Amino acid sequence: MTRLTQIPAEQWDPRIKAVVQPENLTDLEQGLTRYFAHTPELALGLMGFAGAMKMNRTLPERLLELVRLRIAFFNQCRSCMAIRYSDAVADGVDEDAVCSLEKPQEADNLTDAEKSAIRYGELLATNNLAIDDAVYADLKAHFSEAEIVELGMYAAFCVGFGRLAATYHMVDELPEAFRTQTQTLTPWGQDSVTVR
């Protein structure tokens, strides 16, 4: 059960409703907005940032989803692990790719660029001070500097807000395997939910 009160969409600030259009979303898809609605001005600022990252990114949806799911494992954010975004599914994220995240550096169905990005996201989530010249040299072998900045901003967003979401324990709408609090879970080998 969630640890904070979720604000029902009908009680959201009209400006948040206009941006999110909750009538077109399931409760699960409304996600963190149900909490952020407690602070409308901050929520709107965050939505502007997140929207800019979504609308202006250049990196493939598949790559970003794989990075997000690997970070979600380290954050132990159950909702983050359970969700697959439809744009990423359309770009080739299937459960075989997700299962590769158990040992991504050994996976033969991930590209070298994906492995590099996943490693970077993993280090950002687990040991950011281990990100050294060698890690950036590996990234530069696959990505432009603008893409590395984009990847870093996206990964930092996932690390921070994934950890926050994990503390809220928003699991009520998730498949049963993700509702338990007693064990470490993985995004691979579990039921998942595809959302917009």
What residues contact 40, with CB distance under 8 A and at least 6 apart? 12, 13, 15, 16
DSSP state of 195: E
pTM, entire model: 0.94
Spell out where the chain has E strands. Answer: 83-85, 193-195
Distance CA 190, CA 165 (A): 19
Give, in order, the Cα–Cα distances in Å from 173 to each of 77, 83, 144, 178, 196.
14, 11, 39, 9, 15
Three-state DSSP at 169 gives coil
Q: Contact at 8 Å (CB) between 28 and 78?
A: no
Under 8 Å between Cβ of 120 and 70: no
* Residues 69/70/73/75 CA torsion (nearest 10 deg): -90
| Alpha carbons 174 and 152: distance in angstroms, whole number | 28
Q: How many Å apart are CA 7 and CA 32, to the nearest integer?
A: 10
For 61-195, CATH number out of 1.10.10.10, 3.50.50.60, 1.20.1290.10, 2.60.40.10 equals: 1.20.1290.10
pLDDT in tens, the chain (196 residues): 889 999 999 999 999 999 999 999 999 999 999 999 999 999 999 999 999 999 999 999 999 999 999 999 999 999 999 999 999 999 999 999 999 999 999 999 999 999 999 999 999 999 999 999 999 999 999 999 999 999 999 999 999 999 999 999 988 998 888 887 667 888 887 788 888 7
Burial of 73 (0-12, 13-18, 19+ CB in 10 A): buried
Return the number of other C-beta atoms located less than 10 Å from residue 1's C-beta.
8
